A = this chain, B = another copy of it.
Amino acid sequence: MALIECIPNVSEGRRLDVIAAMADAVRAGEGIRLLDCTSDASHNRSVFTLAGTADGVERAVGVLFEQAISAIDLRAHRGEHPRLGAVDVVPFVPLEDVSMAECVALARHVGAAVARRFNLPVYLYEEASTDPSRKNLEDIRRGEFEGLAAKMATAGWAPDFGPSTPHPTAGATVIGARLPLIAYNINLATDRLDVAQNIASAIRQSSGGYRFVKAIGIPLAERGIVQVSMNLTNYEKTPIFRVFDTVKREAARYGVAVLESEIVGLVPSAALTAAAEHYLQLAHFTSAQVLEHRLKQR
């Protein structure tokens, strides 16, 4: 059965009753499971992780838009995380028996539907993007809600769907399709922030590193160490093990050891299996040899 993941980011992380009502509404739907819901008060933002059929995901997203648009007024919204809309970003991710092309088609279909239903501007991003200069979420979101009206009036920033001016309280939404993203951190046995920052700069795409790595160096003050904090946006093409080995080698150049690494949230089993294959030098290995996969197939 085709299974699609969807991770709507909603601009409300403080009013827990509002968030709980959204979670309940999602759970009440057919063909959908709410895998996770994480709210952050300082970000004033909640991240819902859903999985289900194309129909189930589409209905759940519609319900979330309905509730978010009625409950959230971005004119009064404050939080550390950049945001453009009440429902800020909605990525669709292929999980099982579904192609990226199908997720792209779903993103465009849902984008057109919510734009029409809520009279809301929608931008398509990542794999669903129709314009190379609007592929990257950060580029679309730059200026945030407060700068949106001016941005939309600029050449090249008409939305993919919906009106050419912001929704008065709900701003705009960015909808798209992408591979599963892995939030991956490597902690270094040092308090030297410059080392973490230099390594982050060495491995991230934006400054010459790996194609599918976003990275920053940050202090973990309470532990007296530093961290290279990353998003791996395509674990098939830029695998975890290569990033880990590169960070380790770069750290050694400063006489610093890797203390540990950590995966934040969920990770596809294949991303871990690939690391095992690499380090164990496994030859001729196929995922059909994983007992749990075989059990599912028959």
In the complex, what's the smallest C-beta–C-beta distance from A263 to chain B, in angstroms? Answer: 6
Select from chain B the residue with minimum beta-carbon distance to A244.
B280
Asked whether A266 and B289 contact (CB < 8 A) given A272-B273, A298-B35, the answer is yes
Apart from the given pairs A180-B291, A241-B279, A260-B283, 6 other A-B contacts in the complex at a CB distance below 8 Å: A3-B295, A5-B291, A35-B298, A259-B281, A269-B290, A272-B273
Could you list 27 examples of A-B contacts with CB < 8 Å? A33-B295, A34-B298, A35-B294, A180-B291, A240-B280, A244-B279, A244-B280, A258-B281, A260-B281, A260-B283, A261-B281, A261-B282, A261-B283, A262-B283, A266-B294, A267-B290, A268-B291, A268-B292, A269-B269, A269-B273, A269-B291, A272-B272, A272-B276, A272-B277, A276-B276, A276-B279, A292-B292
Question: Is A95 part of the contact surface with B, judged by Cβ < 8 Å?
Answer: yes
**In the complex, what distance in Å separates the CA atom of A240 from the CA atom of B284?**
17
Decide: B289 and A265 in contact? CB cutoff 8 A: yes
**In the complex, what distance in Å separates the CA atom of A78 from the CA atom of B96?**
46
Question: Is A254 part of the contact surface with B, judged by Cβ < 8 Å?
Answer: no
Give which listed residue, B262, B272, B281, B295, contacts A290 with CB less than 8 A. Answer: B272
Decide: B262 and A35 in contact? CB cutoff 8 A: no
Q: With a CB–CB cut-off of 8 A, which chain B residues contact A293?
A: 269
In the complex, what's the smallest C-beta–C-beta distance from A185 to chain B, in angstroms? Answer: 9
Decide: B51 and A295 in contact? CB cutoff 8 A: yes
33-77 of chain A: CB within 8 A of chain B: 33-36, 51
Select from chain B the residue with minimum beta-carbon distance to A266.
B291
In the complex, what's the smallest C-beta–C-beta distance from A284 to chain B, in angstroms? Answer: 6
Question: Is A275 part of the contact surface with B, judged by Cβ < 8 Å?
Answer: yes
